[in-house]
Amino acid sequence: MIRPHLPCRRATPRVAIALALTLAACGPTNPAPAATPSPSPSPVASAQSTASATATATAAPSPSGPAGSSPITGPTPSAPAAAVACPVDRQSGLLPSDRLVDLAISSTPTHDLLTFVFVPSSPSPAGPARGTLEAASSPFSHAGSGSPIDLLGQHAVRLRFSGMTIASESGEATYHGPNDARPDLPALREAIEYDASEGIVGWYVGYDGPGCVTLVRDGNDVTVMIANPEVPAG
């Protein structure tokens, strides 16, 4: 069942602490060396990123970063050319738990943010819960019915959570957030849930512009960061 659209919430995210997802961002050659995150979040470039790796790092407080999160320490890409989209490498890592309960959408001056909120794991999880982010292309469809999805946005990524608990012990659905959100933000156009069955929770995210997409984790939050399109000069 498609729920009403979620209104955009513009808020300053929380202070960054620990991370546990491998990022694979990108940018042109000659990336700048690693540095303490600035007040605005910066995606991380890594041409040698490894799928399924789990990394942990500690970042300094970033008052303008996403809610409670900061990318893994690494080289920072220079801005991509306006006409060329930043490639999306596959990113994967362990999730905070097997129970997703909500989705919050917000924005900063540099990034649009989708923050997936988790609560502590169920008493008997099926196994380690893992999240994977990768590029996606049309046609898009719902996993169960096969019905088509007309996803908004010039580009798309697929976010897949495996090893998930879909319902509580009493049979109540674990997730209570929106299933289809279309906020009016600089880059983010739509986030729609395409699967929630047999331990899999999947989302398609459509966005505009050449900005890089990165995945970060802090505590019980997992955030997809989409760099906003460059503001034209003059």
What global pTM score does this model have? 0.65
Q: What is the CATH number of the domain that holds 114?
A: 2.60.40.3500
* Position 135 in a domain: yes
Tell which wins on pLDDT, 125 or 31.
Answer: 125
* Position 20 in a domain: no
Q: What average pLDDT does this structure show over 53-77? A: 36
* Position 78 in a domain: no
**How many other β-carbons are positioned within 10 Å of the β-carbon of residue 88?**
20
* Position 21 in a domain: no
Domains: count for the chain: 1
Q: Which domain holds residue 122?
A: 91-227
Rg (CA), the chain: 17
Closest CA to 220 of 96, 94, 71: 96
* Position 187 in a domain: yes
Cβ-in-10-Å burial (0-12, 13-18, 19+) of 229 comes to middle
- What was the pLDDT predicted at 168? 84
* Position 112 in a domain: yes
- What was the pLDDT predicted at 25? 35
- Count, residues in the chain: 234
**How many other β-carbons are positioned within 10 Å of the β-carbon of residue 51?**
14
Confidence label for 41 from pLDDT (cuts 50, 70 and 90): very low
Highest mean pLDDT among 7-11, 16-20, 195-199: 195-199
* Position 107 in a domain: yes
